[in-house]
Amino acid sequence: MNAKARTAVVTGAAGGIGRATVDLLLADGVSVLAVDRDVSALAGSPARVVEADLAAADAPARIAEAARALGPLDLLVNCAGVGGSRRLAETDDALLDHIVGINLRAVLRLTRDLLGQIRAPGGAIVNLASVYGEVGRIGTTAYAASKGAITQVTRQLAAELGPQGIRVNAVAPGCILTGMTREKIEGDREYAATMVGGTPLKRIGAPTEVAEVIRFLGSDAASFVTGQIVAVDGGWLTSRGTF
Protein backbone atom coordinates (compact mmCIF):
# COMPACT_ATOMS: atom_id res chain seq x y z
CA MET A 1 0.00 0.00 0.00
CA ASN A 2 1.23 3.51 -0.69
CA ALA A 3 1.30 6.36 1.82
CA LYS A 4 -2.13 7.49 0.66
CA ALA A 5 -3.84 4.28 1.80
CA ARG A 6 -3.68 4.54 5.56
CA THR A 7 -6.98 3.22 6.92
CA ALA A 8 -8.96 0.05 6.31
CA VAL A 9 -11.92 -1.93 7.61
CA VAL A 10 -11.72 -5.71 7.15
CA THR A 11 -14.58 -8.06 8.02
CA GLY A 12 -14.11 -11.76 8.65
CA ALA A 13 -10.80 -10.61 10.09
CA ALA A 14 -10.03 -13.32 12.64
CA GLY A 15 -9.08 -16.16 10.31
CA GLY A 16 -8.32 -17.36 6.81
CA ILE A 17 -8.21 -14.77 4.05
CA GLY A 18 -9.44 -11.99 6.34
CA ARG A 19 -6.66 -12.49 8.88
CA ALA A 20 -4.03 -12.74 6.14
CA THR A 21 -5.32 -9.44 4.73
CA VAL A 22 -5.23 -7.75 8.13
CA ASP A 23 -1.65 -8.89 8.69
CA LEU A 24 -0.47 -7.64 5.29
CA LEU A 25 -2.12 -4.25 5.77
CA LEU A 26 -0.70 -3.86 9.26
CA ALA A 27 2.75 -4.68 7.90
CA ASP A 28 2.26 -1.80 5.46
CA GLY A 29 1.53 0.57 8.32
CA VAL A 30 -2.21 0.78 7.65
CA SER A 31 -4.54 1.47 10.58
CA VAL A 32 -6.95 -1.47 10.46
CA LEU A 33 -10.36 -1.96 12.05
CA ALA A 34 -10.73 -5.74 12.25
CA VAL A 35 -14.30 -7.07 12.48
CA ASP A 36 -15.37 -10.61 13.34
CA ARG A 37 -18.08 -12.37 15.31
CA ASP A 38 -15.35 -14.00 17.44
CA VAL A 39 -12.26 -11.85 17.89
CA SER A 40 -10.39 -14.08 20.34
CA ALA A 41 -7.90 -15.06 17.61
CA LEU A 42 -7.03 -11.37 17.23
CA ALA A 43 -5.77 -11.03 20.80
CA GLY A 44 -2.46 -9.17 20.73
CA SER A 45 -2.99 -7.79 17.23
CA PRO A 46 -2.26 -4.06 16.85
CA ALA A 47 -5.47 -3.74 14.85
CA ARG A 48 -8.51 -2.06 16.40
CA VAL A 49 -11.07 -4.79 16.96
CA VAL A 50 -14.86 -4.89 16.84
CA GLU A 51 -16.73 -8.07 17.74
CA ALA A 52 -19.94 -8.15 15.75
CA ASP A 53 -22.32 -10.57 14.08
CA LEU A 54 -22.79 -8.91 10.71
CA ALA A 55 -26.34 -10.26 10.52
CA ALA A 56 -27.34 -8.30 13.64
CA ALA A 57 -29.50 -5.24 13.11
CA ASP A 58 -27.06 -2.89 14.86
CA ALA A 59 -23.83 -4.25 13.34
CA PRO A 60 -23.35 -1.71 10.53
CA ALA A 61 -23.95 1.25 12.83
CA ARG A 62 -21.53 -0.12 15.46
CA ILE A 63 -18.82 -0.73 12.88
CA ALA A 64 -19.34 2.68 11.27
CA GLU A 65 -19.02 4.37 14.66
CA ALA A 66 -15.78 2.52 15.41
CA ALA A 67 -14.43 3.35 11.95
CA ARG A 68 -14.86 7.08 12.54
CA ALA A 69 -11.90 6.95 14.91
CA LEU A 70 -9.68 6.04 11.95
CA GLY A 71 -10.57 9.14 9.97
CA PRO A 72 -11.44 8.96 6.25
CA LEU A 73 -11.56 5.34 5.14
CA ASP A 74 -9.24 4.32 2.32
CA LEU A 75 -10.21 0.66 2.00
CA LEU A 76 -13.17 -1.56 2.88
CA VAL A 77 -12.64 -5.31 2.54
CA ASN A 78 -15.87 -7.31 2.75
CA CYS A 79 -14.29 -10.66 3.57
CA ALA A 80 -16.73 -12.27 6.02
CA GLY A 81 -18.58 -15.28 4.62
CA VAL A 82 -20.15 -18.60 5.51
CA GLY A 83 -20.49 -21.94 3.74
CA GLY A 84 -22.52 -25.01 4.57
CA SER A 85 -24.63 -24.85 1.43
CA ARG A 86 -26.71 -27.81 0.18
CA ARG A 87 -28.94 -28.70 -2.72
CA LEU A 88 -31.96 -26.41 -2.88
CA ALA A 89 -34.40 -29.20 -1.90
CA GLU A 90 -32.37 -29.66 1.30
CA THR A 91 -32.13 -25.93 2.09
CA ASP A 92 -34.60 -24.77 4.74
CA ASP A 93 -35.38 -21.11 5.41
CA ALA A 94 -32.98 -20.90 8.34
CA LEU A 95 -30.01 -22.05 6.25
CA LEU A 96 -31.03 -19.83 3.34
CA ASP A 97 -31.32 -16.78 5.58
CA HIS A 98 -27.98 -17.55 7.24
CA ILE A 99 -26.01 -17.90 4.01
CA VAL A 100 -27.62 -15.05 2.09
CA GLY A 101 -27.73 -12.89 5.22
CA ILE A 102 -23.97 -12.99 5.78
CA ASN A 103 -22.65 -13.42 2.24
CA LEU A 104 -24.85 -10.82 0.55
CA ARG A 105 -27.17 -8.80 2.77
CA ALA A 106 -24.48 -7.96 5.31
CA VAL A 107 -22.15 -6.75 2.56
CA LEU A 108 -24.80 -4.42 1.17
CA ARG A 109 -25.76 -3.08 4.61
CA LEU A 110 -22.23 -2.42 5.82
CA THR A 111 -21.06 -0.91 2.55
CA ARG A 112 -24.09 1.38 2.50
CA ASP A 113 -23.46 2.57 6.06
CA LEU A 114 -19.75 3.20 5.45
CA LEU A 115 -20.10 5.01 2.13
CA GLY A 116 -20.08 8.44 3.77
CA GLN A 117 -16.71 7.66 5.37
CA ILE A 118 -14.90 6.25 2.32
CA ARG A 119 -12.43 8.71 0.83
CA ALA A 120 -13.77 10.23 -2.38
CA PRO A 121 -11.84 10.36 -4.58
CA GLY A 122 -9.28 7.69 -3.79
CA GLY A 123 -11.14 5.12 -1.72
CA ALA A 124 -11.51 1.45 -2.64
CA ILE A 125 -13.79 -1.47 -1.84
CA VAL A 126 -12.80 -5.11 -2.32
CA ASN A 127 -15.44 -7.83 -2.02
CA LEU A 128 -14.98 -11.58 -1.63
CA ALA A 129 -16.74 -13.41 -4.43
CA SER A 130 -16.00 -17.04 -5.38
CA VAL A 131 -15.34 -19.24 -8.37
CA TYR A 132 -18.68 -20.85 -7.43
CA GLY A 133 -20.33 -17.57 -8.35
CA GLU A 134 -19.12 -18.11 -11.92
CA VAL A 135 -20.08 -21.75 -12.58
CA GLY A 136 -22.75 -24.25 -11.58
CA ARG A 137 -21.82 -26.90 -9.02
CA ILE A 138 -24.22 -29.39 -7.44
CA GLY A 139 -24.92 -28.88 -3.75
CA THR A 140 -23.88 -25.22 -3.43
CA THR A 141 -27.10 -23.47 -4.45
CA ALA A 142 -27.50 -20.78 -1.79
CA TYR A 143 -23.76 -20.16 -1.46
CA ALA A 144 -23.22 -19.93 -5.21
CA ALA A 145 -26.22 -17.64 -5.58
CA SER A 146 -24.93 -15.33 -2.85
CA LYS A 147 -21.46 -15.16 -4.40
CA GLY A 148 -22.85 -14.66 -7.89
CA ALA A 149 -24.78 -11.74 -6.44
CA ILE A 150 -21.58 -10.31 -4.97
CA THR A 151 -20.09 -10.38 -8.46
CA GLN A 152 -22.97 -8.26 -9.73
CA VAL A 153 -22.94 -6.00 -6.67
CA THR A 154 -19.27 -5.32 -7.39
CA ARG A 155 -19.96 -4.30 -10.97
CA GLN A 156 -22.99 -2.26 -9.98
CA LEU A 157 -21.16 -0.33 -7.29
CA ALA A 158 -18.19 0.24 -9.57
CA ALA A 159 -20.57 1.99 -11.96
CA GLU A 160 -22.35 3.91 -9.20
CA LEU A 161 -19.28 5.03 -7.26
CA GLY A 162 -16.81 5.49 -10.10
CA PRO A 163 -17.82 9.13 -10.71
CA GLN A 164 -16.88 9.84 -7.08
CA GLY A 165 -13.44 8.30 -7.61
CA ILE A 166 -14.17 5.20 -5.52
CA ARG A 167 -13.06 1.90 -7.04
CA VAL A 168 -14.88 -1.39 -6.41
CA ASN A 169 -13.43 -4.80 -7.27
CA ALA A 170 -13.71 -8.39 -6.07
CA VAL A 171 -11.53 -11.44 -5.74
CA ALA A 172 -12.92 -14.88 -6.53
CA PRO A 173 -10.91 -17.49 -4.61
CA GLY A 174 -10.73 -21.08 -5.72
CA CYS A 175 -9.51 -23.86 -3.43
CA ILE A 176 -7.85 -22.01 -0.54
CA LEU A 177 -6.88 -23.76 2.69
CA THR A 178 -8.80 -22.02 5.48
CA GLY A 179 -10.67 -23.11 8.56
CA MET A 180 -13.87 -23.12 6.51
CA THR A 181 -12.51 -25.36 3.74
CA ARG A 182 -10.10 -27.67 5.60
CA GLU A 183 -12.74 -30.30 6.45
CA LYS A 184 -13.94 -30.47 2.84
CA ILE A 185 -10.43 -30.68 1.44
CA GLU A 186 -9.32 -33.38 3.88
CA GLY A 187 -12.56 -35.37 4.23
CA ASP A 188 -14.39 -35.19 0.91
CA ARG A 189 -12.59 -37.11 -1.83
CA GLU A 190 -14.91 -35.88 -4.58
CA TYR A 191 -14.39 -32.27 -3.52
CA ALA A 192 -10.63 -32.70 -3.36
CA ALA A 193 -10.55 -34.41 -6.75
CA THR A 194 -12.59 -31.64 -8.35
CA MET A 195 -11.04 -28.65 -6.65
CA VAL A 196 -7.41 -29.73 -6.42
CA GLY A 197 -7.29 -32.22 -9.30
CA GLY A 198 -9.15 -29.75 -11.51
CA THR A 199 -6.70 -26.94 -10.79
CA PRO A 200 -3.98 -26.61 -13.44
CA LEU A 201 -1.40 -25.68 -10.81
CA LYS A 202 -2.28 -28.92 -8.97
CA ARG A 203 -2.16 -27.51 -5.47
CA ILE A 204 -4.22 -25.75 -2.83
CA GLY A 205 -3.89 -22.00 -2.44
CA ALA A 206 -2.87 -20.15 0.72
CA PRO A 207 -4.86 -17.29 2.29
CA THR A 208 -1.89 -14.95 1.83
CA GLU A 209 -2.03 -15.51 -1.94
CA VAL A 210 -5.54 -14.06 -1.97
CA ALA A 211 -4.66 -11.32 0.50
CA GLU A 212 -1.84 -10.12 -1.77
CA VAL A 213 -4.36 -9.54 -4.56
CA ILE A 214 -6.69 -7.73 -2.16
CA ARG A 215 -3.81 -5.49 -1.12
CA PHE A 216 -3.03 -4.73 -4.76
CA LEU A 217 -6.65 -3.89 -5.58
CA GLY A 218 -6.80 -1.56 -2.59
CA SER A 219 -3.65 0.31 -3.56
CA ASP A 220 -2.87 3.07 -6.05
CA ALA A 221 -1.05 0.46 -8.13
CA ALA A 222 -4.59 -0.50 -9.21
CA SER A 223 -5.77 3.09 -9.62
CA PHE A 224 -7.35 2.43 -13.05
CA VAL A 225 -8.88 -0.94 -12.10
CA THR A 226 -12.54 -1.07 -11.13
CA GLY A 227 -15.51 -3.35 -11.69
CA GLN A 228 -13.26 -6.41 -12.02
CA ILE A 229 -13.61 -9.92 -10.59
CA VAL A 230 -10.12 -11.34 -10.17
CA ALA A 231 -9.97 -15.13 -9.86
CA VAL A 232 -7.28 -16.38 -7.47
CA ASP A 233 -7.81 -20.04 -8.23
CA GLY A 234 -4.69 -21.58 -9.74
CA GLY A 235 -6.48 -21.62 -13.08
CA TRP A 236 -9.46 -23.69 -11.85
CA LEU A 237 -12.00 -21.72 -13.86
CA THR A 238 -10.10 -22.44 -17.05
CA SER A 239 -10.68 -26.17 -16.46
CA ARG A 240 -14.40 -26.01 -15.74
CA GLY A 241 -15.07 -28.54 -18.51
CA THR A 242 -13.40 -31.29 -16.48
CA PHE A 243 -16.15 -31.41 -13.86
Residue 89 belongs to some domain of the structure: yes
Give the up-direction half-sphere exposure of residue 51: CA atoms within 13 A in the CB hemisphere: 6
Q: Does some domain include residue 238? A: no
Domain containing residue 48:
7-231
Nearest Cα residue to 13 out of 78, 88, 107: 78
Question: Residues 141, 91: contact at Cβ < 8 Å?
Answer: yes
Cα–Cα distance for residue pair 94/76, rounded to 1 Å: 28
240 is a domain residue: no
Domain-located, residue 102? yes
Q: Is 143 tagged catalytic?
A: yes
Asked if residue 10 lies in contact with residue 18, where contact means CB atoms within 8 angstroms, the answer is yes
Residue 1 belongs to some domain of the structure: no
From 24, 50, 127, 143, active-site residue: 143
CATH code where residue 76 lies: 3.40.50.720
218 in a domain, yes or no? yes
Start-to-end CA span in the chain (Å): 38
- 3-class DSSP state of 121: coil
Query: Does some domain include residue 243?
Result: no
Domain count, the chain: 1
Answer yes or no: are the C-beta atoms of 35 and 52 closer than 8 Å. yes
Closest to 141 in 3D by CA, of 103, 198, 194: 103
Residue 242 resides in a domain: no
Please report, in tens digits, the pLDDT of each residue of the chain (243 residues total): 554 459 999 999 999 999 999 999 999 999 999 999 999 999 999 999 999 999 999 999 999 999 999 999 999 999 999 988 889 889 899 999 999 999 999 999 999 999 999 999 999 999 999 999 988 878 789 999 999 999 999 999 999 999 999 999 999 999 998 877 787 778 778 777 888 888 999 899 999 999 999 999 999 999 999 999 999 999 999 987 454
Q: Which of 168, 151, 163 is nearest to 218 (CA)?
A: 168
